[in-house]
Structure 1
Amino acid sequence: MADLRFDSQPPKHTDVPRPRRAEGQWSFGYREPLNKNEESKKNDDPLNVRDRILYTYSKRGFDSIDPADLRGRFRWLGLYTQRKPGIDGGKTGALEEEELDDRYFMLRVRSDGKLLSPAAVRALGTIGVDYARDTADVTDRENIQYHWIDIKDVPSIWERLDEVGLHSMEACGDSPRPFLGSPVAGVAVDEIIDGTSALAEIERRYLNNKDFSNLPRKFKTALTGHPSQDVSPETNDVSFVGSVHPEHGPGFDVWVGGGLSTNPMLAQKMGVWIPLEDVPDVWEGVASIFRDYGYRRLRSRARLKFLVADWGIEKFQEVLENEYLGKKLVNLESPASPVGHRDHIGVHAQKDGKSYIGVAPSVGRVSGTLLVQLADLLEEYGVAGARLTPYQKIVLIGVDNDKVEALIERLDEIGLSARPSNWRRNTMACTGIEFCKLAIVDTKERARSLVTELERRFPTLDTPITVNVNGCPNACARTQVADFGLKGQLVLDDEGQQVEGFQVHLGGATGLGANFGRKLRAHKVTSEGLDDYVSNVVTNYLVDRKEDEIFADWVARADEELLRGDKALQSAEPVS
């Protein structure tokens, strides 16, 4: 691979047509920054900020931090300033970033599909207790996310993470973001192939590596060898999906160009087969194409999905093979997609005769105290460890079968249910206005109260219905691929007052029939009216559905009047 550090020249590629308009693509010699973000990265590699945090900012305090580091390079170390308390959603887009900044930070800690030992879970919990006002959230990127972090405490936090093999390196920024790995890698009875070693090798080679620290924007990776495709591969920049070749055996297909936000696109499938040992090289090739050919002029078009859409998957594969891998990939039809996703909730057999248990926090919100309590239970019951999931859940690995029921009872006592309601199991929420500077509405508490109310109104719901709640248009909670995708915005209530509310996407899905669902024109729901809206639409579905018809299929054919939820059909289940 060519070394493309800041002081080197990119290779000259002649087989890709030069675009009519300069997009800042390095491969065509467009090295001069076209926006302030590119200028900041050129001025100083963001990885260099680590030493300044350790030896200057943590000792001199918040006011000593260079603004270019504070609102830019800090992200490469997993640090964002959080939202100053008391600023309402109407000011999110009107104020300058420095006006929204609090003097505290959000910190993301990567897990990258790792099995977290009891000691690691305890360390994550004590960090929350000691440094983050007892906050801790499980995110849909398999991170633990803290709030109220003081810059002076960051070195101590990093030291504690390092002791258990964890870190926050490139958890944010224009970099290789946290990887999604199968939560049941290496233990699931029906697993095709265990890709854990490939993720570890990608981390070893390419994180904290200046060849890949200046990408056009974020770069999201997912890998699973499980047939349920349990890492939302359709929505990542690059995904490796377990597949079986009739001659070569288990390996991976490669999908590229997925991403949501304001211009959602599903990943395109190459239809190839690569062995486990080639995954890191192919990852490097895909990331290098993004680095070299990715658009850098407009931040809104600086994701890999736009390049893949412009080139097409055939051209992308050709460039990958000819210019980066130096060999042809083996063609193989992409593996079949499952219906929906699998979150691994409940008790499941492992291939070694033990069990794994998937538990559901409420919309990913846990706490430092809860994680310490979980570590206590892992040690008491001799559990191997825990993994985080892309659906804000936790999976406990290696439970002795004779301890399963007792452990489930103890987990319930601390708020981690292995047998949650369909509503609790299938609802996710992003950080929201409580801490996020981009958010417009509250999400976590609103989603939790929605779950409680839906559990009361539909206590015996017999089919999964997913609800994803997002505080802004950026789709961190994957709103476009949920049954109910709720995108936060300010709306007008019946009195004409501006209040918190949501634009609604209905019937989105991953897996078989992956799509972005229906968005009803000019249809908004107030936050206050959300319980009744969701209840009415769910009731209409339960009354109007055909036998075995899932919610997404019903949405695709239902009359718009039923989806607007102004009133409910005669209820299929009593709603009090």
Structure 2
Amino acid sequence: MAPTTTKVRERKRTPRKKKPEGQWKIDGREPLNDDERIKQADPAFAVRRRVIDVYSKQGFDSIAPEDIAPRFKWLGIYTQRRQDLGGEYTSKLENSELQDRYFMMRVRFDGGLASPEKLRAVGEISRDYARSTADFTDRQNIQLHWIEIENVPAIWEKLESVGLSTMMGCGDVPRVILGSPVAGVAAEEIIDGTPAIREIQEKYLHSGDFDNLPRKFKTAISGHARQDVTHEIQDISFVASVHPEHGPGFACFVGGGLSTNPMLSKSLGVWVPLEEVAEVWAGVAGIFRDYGFRRLRNRARLKFLVAQWGIEKFRQVLEDEYLHRKLIDGPDVGTHPGYRDHIGAYPQKDGKFYLGVKPTVGHTSGEQLIRIAEVAERFGVTRIRTTPEKELLFLDVEREDLTKLSAALDEVGLYAHPSEFRRGIISCTGLEFCKLAHVTTKARAIELVDELEERLGDLDVPLKISLNGCPNSCARTQVSDIGLKGQTVTDADGNRVEGFQVHLGGSMNLDPNFGRKLKGHKVIADELADYVTRVVGRFKEQRHEGEQFREWVVRADEEDIK
């Protein structure tokens, strides 16, 4: 009997068509989500006129929803959280339901450039219009709260009278440009990046070319040997690089960022002279504008494009399509391993000194800002700087005035000799004002420092502690020695309460990494001080001579860090 044969037809599978990412140069400019539609429907900065002419006169209820979110962000303002809604509502309610009738306002200090006049103006605004709230941020800005729309034009007028602005404080634009707070004055500076920051501001920020990016675009420029601008977590950064033939210039890094998908920036492998930094910046910003992903907001950061393309392709596109020339290959730039902040007194190039002081977690008040301005003027200080570590620096201090100035600032609540706990702690805004937060952070951070100082005294090595109200990592959770990510947790009695997920041993300046996430380990907020005290106490007991906390974490038994 002949064998039976069965013919099997092979079906050709049609590959599923890949969804467009919303890349303008590839997919066109058709909006793929509501944010992109709103941004194209009306220029975001057009809303400034409506604030002045309509909303400030007719009140909160007159504001169009699409102006509140997202267009107001371009003006540096957005609604704060309702005070009667706890963290348990964060993931349950829409933004419009969580928002209050008051606003947060972000005042830009590009490069951290401040003065007694500027701080006094912000202090008076805080006192008169913001219930005396004021916070230094890790972006060198000052944030105010409880702002009412009726008062915004008067606030803008006062800020502009001293050369300050809230424009582009938020939104899908180039945010404030971080700069070394001691640019041009520090004795150990390699190159002064101030001219590049100024050129970017004057030539590009208000050109209209970068008013509609896929999302925010963060920049940092520092020629200081200490790499004092957190360059590893910026969209684009320039740090000092000495070329064996061309001398001092800058290395360029792209694609850094934290949040729920943390990535460290990657070096382009180039050396950029000072006079070309602004042009390279504009080229990278142009790539982000034209090729950045716009369909999904959670993928609309430059780091995702860099990860998809790879650094070699990114550099090639930059050179071929935007600069139309090759960049100079540069030497590897090592990571500065020590302190990057500027706490204490340091020599300037001119023989004078600068003094760095720290307000706990950057928290201050309007009256305190006014007193700071008065102290500065008493000692003849005309140049003040904010920093990415939430410090204040007083420049051009005579040697004989250092001790007296330090004592005067200590009375105002600014510490030139803080404990390592006070020096290294950082927190985000948290549940008090933020619509994304699950837990209270700032008040808890202040209490935590007091507890640690009382129970453990001090340390002789740096200790970075960060408290973040949500997974977005505004307080740099993944790159801190002790990173605490806020979330709602279940206590022993089954109650849903505020708590934290723990990251340990993260770093930017010593073997950069995202640390050790303790799987399944969560700390109830009320037990936070006991937990941190226990872990740091074990470190003090077990550490080897000269060992850093993050080094101990790598070898510590899991029970010792729980």
**Normalization by structure 1: what TM-score?**
0.93
The CA distance in 1 between the partners of 2:331 and 2:50, in whole Å, is 49
- For the 8 Å contact 2:241–2:331, the answer to whether it is kept is no
- For the 8 Å contact 1:504–1:525, the answer to whether it is kept is yes
1:407 alignment partner, SS class: helix
Query: How far did 1:29 drift?
Result: 3.6
The CA distance in 2 between the partners of 1:469 and 1:547, in whole Å, is 28
2:176 alignment partner, SS class: coil
Aligned positions of 1:356-435 closer than 5 A: 356-435=354-433
2:20 alignment partner, SS class: coil
The CA distance in 2 between the partners of 1:460 and 1:68, in whole Å, is 50
1:179 alignment partner, SS class: strand
The CA distance in 2 between the partners of 1:319 and 1:156, in whole Å, is 45
Equivalent position of 1:325 in the other structure? 323
Where do 5+ consecutive residues of structure 2 fail to align? 1-16
Equivalent position of 2:436 in the other structure? 438
The CA distance in 1 between the partners of 2:99 and 2:390, in whole Å, is 26
Residue 483 (structure 1) aligned to one of 474, 481, 494: 481
Equivalent position of 1:127 in the other structure? 125
- For the 8 Å contact 1:340–1:510, the answer to whether it is kept is no
Aligned positions of 1:98-247 closer than 5 A: 98-247=96-245
Query: How far did 1:214 drift?
Result: 0.7
1:58 alignment partner, SS class: helix
- For the 8 Å contact 2:139–2:388, the answer to whether it is kept is yes
Matched to 1:433, the amino acid is L
**Is structure 2 residue 317 aligned with structure 1 residue 314?**
no
Residue 534 (structure 2) aligned to one of 522, 533, 536: 536
Equivalent position of 1:85 in the other structure? 83
2:206 alignment partner, SS class: coil
Query: How far did 1:115 drift?
Result: 2.5
1:438-458 deviation digits (Å, cap 9, x = unpaired): 111000000000000000111
Query: How far did 1:207 drift?
Result: 2.0
Equivalent position of 1:286 in the other structure? 284
Equivalent position of 1:47 in the other structure? 45
- For the 8 Å contact 1:270–1:334, the answer to whether it is kept is no
The CA distance in 1 between the partners of 2:227 and 2:530, in whole Å, is 33
Of residues 327-336 and 71-80 in structure 1, the stretch that sits farther from structure 2 once superposed is 327-336
The CA distance in 2 between the partners of 1:479 and 1:356, in whole Å, is 30
Equivalent position of 1:13 in the other structure? none
Of residues 481-490 and 541-550 in structure 1, the stretch that sits farther from structure 2 once superposed is 541-550
Matched to 2:462, the amino acid is P
**Normalization by structure 2: what TM-score?**
0.96
Count how many residue pairs are aligned between Structure 1 and Structure 2: 546
Equivalent position of 2:550 in the other structure? 552
1:375-396 deviation digits (Å, cap 9, x = unpaired): 0011110012211111111111
The CA distance in 2 between the partners of 1:369 and 1:338, in whole Å, is 37
**Is structure 2 residue 64 aligned with structure 1 residue 66?**
yes
The CA distance in 2 between the partners of 1:198 and 1:386, in whole Å, is 20
Of residues 73-82 and 199-208 in structure 1, the stretch that sits farther from structure 2 once superposed is 199-208
1:113 alignment partner, SS class: helix
| Distance 1:124-1:193 versus aligned 2 partners, 3 A rule | same
Higher helix proportion (structure 1 or 2): 2
Where do 5+ consecutive residues of structure 1 fail to align? 1-18, 565-576
Q: Structure 1 vs Structure 2: percent identity of aligned residues?
A: 58
Equivalent position of 2:270 in the other structure? 272
- For the 8 Å contact 1:363–1:392, the answer to whether it is kept is yes
Matched to 2:180, the amino acid is S
Query: How far did 1:334 drift?
Result: 2.5
- For the 8 Å contact 1:341–1:510, the answer to whether it is kept is no
Query: Highest Rg: 1 or 2?
Result: 2
Q: Which runs of 4+ in 1 moved over 6 A?
A: none
- For the 8 Å contact 2:21–2:27, the answer to whether it is kept is no
Matched to 1:200, the amino acid is R
- For the 8 Å contact 2:356–2:391, the answer to whether it is kept is yes
RMSD, aligned α-carbons: 1.1
- For the 8 Å contact 2:234–2:256, the answer to whether it is kept is yes
Residue 525 (structure 1) aligned to one of 501, 523, 526: 523
Matched to 1:181, the amino acid is G
- For the 8 Å contact 2:20–2:27, the answer to whether it is kept is no
- For the 8 Å contact 1:110–1:171, the answer to whether it is kept is yes
1:253-289 deviation digits (Å, cap 9, x = unpaired): 0000000000000000112111111111001000000
The CA distance in 2 between the partners of 1:346 and 1:93, in whole Å, is 42
Matched to 1:324, the amino acid is Y
The CA distance in 2 between the partners of 1:210 and 1:56, in whole Å, is 24
1:342-398 deviation digits (Å, cap 9, x = unpaired): 110011111111111111101110111111001001111001221111111111111
- For the 8 Å contact 1:253–1:269, the answer to whether it is kept is yes
Query: How far did 1:339 drift?
Result: 1.0
1:528 alignment partner, SS class: helix
The CA distance in 2 between the partners of 1:57 and 1:257, in whole Å, is 38
Query: How far did 1:30 drift?
Result: 2.5
- For the 8 Å contact 1:169–1:207, the answer to whether it is kept is no
